[in-house]
């Protein structure tokens, strides 16, 4: 019997992979990888490793989740060292829990290897701290998309009134709805907002505005998925520092003005 590893590949920059995740890639017999996994990481796989693409786009899935679960079980039963490589962290809107459940139901050994999630990393590369002693002492990670479209079953009142910073995944298509719900439930229209497209990659782009203006800005700038929405006063910190981005890898350069 083999073993399956549900591995977080990080948010895009291949240097943000963890040591343990890299070791899993290097020793895998089979790697089932997602669309947002940086291709550079796959070059670390051994020569005879089989690579299986499981990418998912909005409204289009290369493989259905049930098929992915089946492949994980199948190859692990064959005695393979199987890696399910997922963008970000496998337990943050990655359906990693469902994959673990499928393996456990078949009595197969499985291990989860956490990864850096985009909700923390993308803002950091854009010069935005997800928390700040003066600007935000709490944050919530929120999905901006549900299987049937708009995230109507989310407690928008609680998010608008009880949390300082919101990091919203997969929300560009529903951005008008999200902004409307937050303002309707107590967030001020002038609350700062940042949208970070392709966070931590060389294609990273960041636009900023407010709840009242960001929809028009995103439309004008043609911002598309994958993108992270950050809402809260911590966004204003971006104005105080300069980060190398927009075509260059954001490394440890920061200047406080």
How far CA 57 is from CA of 35, 36, 54, 62, 225, in Å, comes to: 8, 10, 10, 8, 9
Q: How many CB atoms are closer than 10 A to CB 72?
A: 26
Catalytic residues: 34, 56, 170
Distance CA(34)–CA(96), nearest Å, equals 12
Peptide bond into 14 cis (omega under 30): no
Task: Pull the structure tokens for residue 239.
Answer: 């104005």
Question: Which DSSP helix (H) or strand (E) runs through 159?
Answer: helix 156-162
Distance CA(240)–CA(180), nearest Å, equals 28
Distance CA(38)–CA(206), nearest Å, equals 20
**How big is the chain, counted in residues?**
257
């Amino acid at each position: 019997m083999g073993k399956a590893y549900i591995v977080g590949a990080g948010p895009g920059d291949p240097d943000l992979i963890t040591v343990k995740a890299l070791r899993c890639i290097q020793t895998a017999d089979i790697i089932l990888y997602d669309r947002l996994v940086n291709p550079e990481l796959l070059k670390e796989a051994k020569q005879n490793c089989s690579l299986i693409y499981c990418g998912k786009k909005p409204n289009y899935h290369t493989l259905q989740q049930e098929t992915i679960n089946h492949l994980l079980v199948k190859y692990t039963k064959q005695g393979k060292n199987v890696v399910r490589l997922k963008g970000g962290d496998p337990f943050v809107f990655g359906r990693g829990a469902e994959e673990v459940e499928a393996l456990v139901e078949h009595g197969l050994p499985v291990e989860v290897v956490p990864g850096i999630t985009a909700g923390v990393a993308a803002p950091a590369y854009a010069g935005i701290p997800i928390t700040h002693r003066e600007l935000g002492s709490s944050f919530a990670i929120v999905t901006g998309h549900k299987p049937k479209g708009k995230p109507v079953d989310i407690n928008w009142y609680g998010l608008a009134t009880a949390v300082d910073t919101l990091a919203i995944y997969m929300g560009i298509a529903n951005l008008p709805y999200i902004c409307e719900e937050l303002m309707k439930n107590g967030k001020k229209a002038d609350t700062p907002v940042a949208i970070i497209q392709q966070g931590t990659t060389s294609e990273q782009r960041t636009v900023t505005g407010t709840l009242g203006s960001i929809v028009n800005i995103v439309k004008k700038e043609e911002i598309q998925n994958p993108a992270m929405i950050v809402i809260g006063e911590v966004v204003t910190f971006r104005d105080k520092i300069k980060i190398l981005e927009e075509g260059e890898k954001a490394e440890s350069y920061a200047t406080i003005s």
